[in-house]
A and B are shown apart, each in its own frame.
Chain A
Amino acid sequence: MVDDTRKKDDRTQPSTDEAALSARLRHLGERLEHNRLSTPPETPASRPNTNASALAQGLRLSTELVAGVVVGGLIGWFLDRTLGISPWGFIVFVLLGFVAGLLNLMRSAGFMAENDSKH
Chain B
Amino acid sequence: MAAADPIHQFEIHNLFSLLKIGGTEIHFTNSAAFMFLAVGLSALLLLGATAGRRLVPTRMQSMAELSYELVADTIRSTAGEDGMRFFPFVFTLFMFILFSNVIGIVPYTFTVTSHIIITAALALLVFFTVIIYGIWHNGLRFFKLFVPSGIPALMVPVIVIIEVLSFLSRPISHSVRLFANMLAGHITLKLVASFVVMLGSLGFLGWLGALAPLALTIALTALELLVAFLQAYVFTILTCIYLSDALHPGH
Q: Which A residues contact B (CB, under 8 angstroms)?
A: 6, 9-10, 25, 41-45, 47, 50-53, 55-56, 59-60, 62-64, 66-68, 70-72, 75, 93, 96-97, 99-101, 103-104, 114-115, 117-119
Contact = CB atoms under 8 A, between A and B. Distances in A.
A101 B168 CA distance: 10
Contact of A64 (B158, B173, B233, B248): B173
B248 to A, nearest CB: 7
B6 interface: no
B169 A118 contact: no
B177 to A, nearest CB: 5
Given A9-B55, A44-B251, 19 more contacts: A6-B55, A42-B76, A42-B77, A50-B78, A55-B230, A56-B234, A59-B231, A63-B172, A63-B180, A64-B173, A67-B170, A71-B169, A75-B165, A75-B168, A101-B169, A103-B162, A104-B166, A104-B170, A119-B149
B203 to A, nearest CB: 41
Contacts of B231: 59
B162 A99 contact: yes
B134 to A, nearest CB: 14
Contacts of A97: 165, 169
B162 A50 contact: no
Contacts of A56: 230, 233-234, 237
A6 B233 CA distance: 28
Top 10 A-B pairs, shortest CB-CB distance: A67-B173, A117-B148, A100-B165, A100-B166, A67-B169, A67-B172, A50-B77, A71-B169, A63-B173, A68-B169
A62 B166 CA distance: 15
A71 B250 CA distance: 23
A68 B145 contact: no
Nearest to A93: B165
Contacts of B244: 44
Given A66-B176, A118-B149, A59 B234 contact: yes
B173 A66 contact: yes
Contacts, number: 115
Contact of B176 (A67, A75, A101): A67
B41 interface: no
B71 to A, nearest CB: 11
Contact of A100 (B56, B162, B248, B250): B162
B81 interface: yes
A115 B251 contact: yes
Contacts of B251: 44-45, 115, 118-119
A37 to B, nearest CB: 10
Given A52-B74, A118-B149, A71 B172 contact: yes
Contacts of B163: 100, 103
B56 A6 contact: yes
Contacts of B245: 115
Nearest to A49: B77
Contacts of A62: 177, 180
A50 B241 CA distance: 12
B169 A104 contact: yes
A114 B241 contact: yes
Contacts of A10: 56
A33 B76 CA distance: 15
A44 B246 CA distance: 12
A70 B163 CA distance: 15
Given A59-B231, A63-B177, A72-B165, A44 B74 contact: no
